[in-house]
Amino acid sequence: MRNLLSLLFLLGVYLLNAQNVPVDYYPPTPVPDRIITSWKTDPSTSFSVNWRTSVSVSKGAGQIALASPSPDFDSIKVTEAVSEMLVSDMSAAHYHSLNFTGLKPNTLYAYRVGDGMNIWSEWVHFRTAEAKEAPFSFIYFGDAQNDLKSKWSRTIRQAYSNLPKADFMLHAGDLINVAQRDQEWGEWFYAGGWIYQNIPSIVTPGNHEYPRINNQTALSKHWRPSFTLPENGPAGLEESAYYVDYQGTRVISLNSTAYLYFDKDSVSQMIWLDQVLKNNPNKWTVVTMHHPVFSPAGDRDSPALRSGFKTLFDKYNVDVVLQGHDHTYARGGNNLPSGATVIDSTGPVYAVSVSGPKMYLSNLLTWIDRAAVETQLYQLVHVNKDTMTYEAYTTVGELYDKFQLIKTGNGRKKFIDMTPPGVKERIELTTARLEKLNATERAKWTERFNAYKARKLAHEEAIKAQAAKTKQPSKPKKKK
């Protein structure tokens, strides 16, 4: 009988392959998977959890208790989940979400999720935020998007190994490539694995989270079932445009895709953002959005973002804007003189980064003070009282870029360029990449490359001259 069942199974596999039926490499099961944490409400007294099961599990629940060295937890609290079915291109599954509330600030909890009866995840630790201003750090990723399992996984895992006690991760859109393709979501969750379970994620949607359906653009049906995020944004953009206040910093997610696609969403976000920035009690302001205000890739440009969002960034002195979309690295700011090393400033520093393997050529425009091409990176941001320190690392863990902002009062900030000495800019193209460019593309790249190098060389010479002048001994005064 057992041999007959084995033969029938093999016959079934053969028939499936013969008909070119796609294989579901990440099928839902009764055991919770795709577990991810974030915040729906106050990070100091709550956190949210999402997970997926097969449709055989119709209800979900979570258990939480104070973490203890003892394996026997006391006073376990049970919270019932909200469950919904999602039918993807590969399967149907139940997605479950819950929000643990009434927690103590700066406290380590243990939680698990499951069906409320027999099937549970492992117990996982999660620490709530401080209820007041306090030092913290987070990881910022540009686009993951492609080859998520094979090549993006190394970036998120290297970032975790570099900062395992990060307080949260920030993903600047295009988490995946095809919005409704379940396998890509499966790869994104596989790549981060259990890291998502105890380090919460702040996610903002990119254009690749927006499929076109009957000539209409709508946010991926995977988005809201997969994440539980604040619903404090404009009507219709809940959980995509929102803000989180974390230990003295306001982190704002803007839905730049909706802003650029739909007039109503650009107007509503501008009105909402003006109020969110105007009534911001926090010392620091971080904005994340997918499309760059200043594009560093090719001939891309989004002037609507400069005539819209940027006016408010400048008006309210936003500190940093963390972006993706352009699959190259660039850091600079239009309010900073090009190549400034130490300067008093207002307005944001802009960063564009890419964590996945898909790469574009940089346009090396004059707003850029540090660039990289053909380089996967992640960024660590540390906030401590009046100081914010930003560090960009390559996916092999090498420090590539660094700057610091210091609050000096009256809305002023001191910007300090701390680029690691001796680390050469990665802007040389490989011979293989150059050969892929046609004559026009190669000429344009060469012109931009030479202009950028000349500008950087002039800046370096100016710094050397200033340093030499500073070191010169003062001339003795002539005797009368």
Q: What is the pLDDT of residues 15-41, one digit of tens each?
A: 555 556 689 999 999 999 999 999 999
The partner residues of 382 in beta bridges, in order of sequence, read 137, 389
In whole angstroms, give the CA distance from residue 90 to residue 28.
10
- Who's near 459: CB < 8 A, 6+ residues apart? 338, 339
pLDDT, tens digit, for every residue of 350-376? 999 999 999 999 999 999 999 999 999
The secondary element (H helix, E strand) that includes residue 212 is: strand 212-213
CA distances for 416 relative to 57, 288, 301, 374, 456, angstroms: 54, 22, 28, 26, 17
* CATH code of domain 33-127: 2.60.40.380
C-alpha angle with apex 35: 249 to 143, nearest 5 degrees? 60
Which range has the worst mean pLDDT, 8-12, 60-64, 196-200, 392-396? Answer: 8-12
Share of residues in the chain with pLDDT > 90 (%)? 82
Rg of the chain taking only CA atoms, in angstroms: 25
pLDDT, tens digit, for every residue of 245-291? 999 999 999 999 999 999 999 999 999 999 999 999 999 999 999 99
Average pLDDT rounded to a whole number, residues 71-92: 95
In whole angstroms, give the CA distance from residue 125 to residue 181.
31
Which range has the worst mean pLDDT, 48-52, 218-222, 409-413, 447-451? Answer: 409-413
Residue-level pLDDT at 217: 75
Residue-level pLDDT at 439: 92
In whole angstroms, give the CA distance from residue 117 to residue 266.
46
CATH 2.60.40.380-classified regions of the chain? 33-127
CA distances for 256 relative to 205, 210, 224, 263, angstroms: 8, 11, 17, 12
Is the dihedral angle over the CA atoms 293, 334, 133, 281 positive or is it negative?
A: negative
In whole angstroms, give the CA distance from residue 248 to residue 255.
23
Average pLDDT rounded to a whole number, residues 77-99: 97
* CATH code of domain 136-429: 3.60.21.10
Band (pLDDT 50/70/90 cuts) for residue 2 is low
Show the DSSP H helices in 279-308 as ranges: 303-307
Residue-level pLDDT at 182: 97
Does 218 have pLDDT greater than 80?
A: yes
Cβ–Cβ under 8 Å, residues 94 and 54: yes
Band (pLDDT 50/70/90 cuts) for residue 406 is very high
CATH 3.60.21.10-classified regions of the chain? 136-429
Cβ–Cβ under 8 Å, residues 302 and 324: no
Residue-level pLDDT at 345: 75
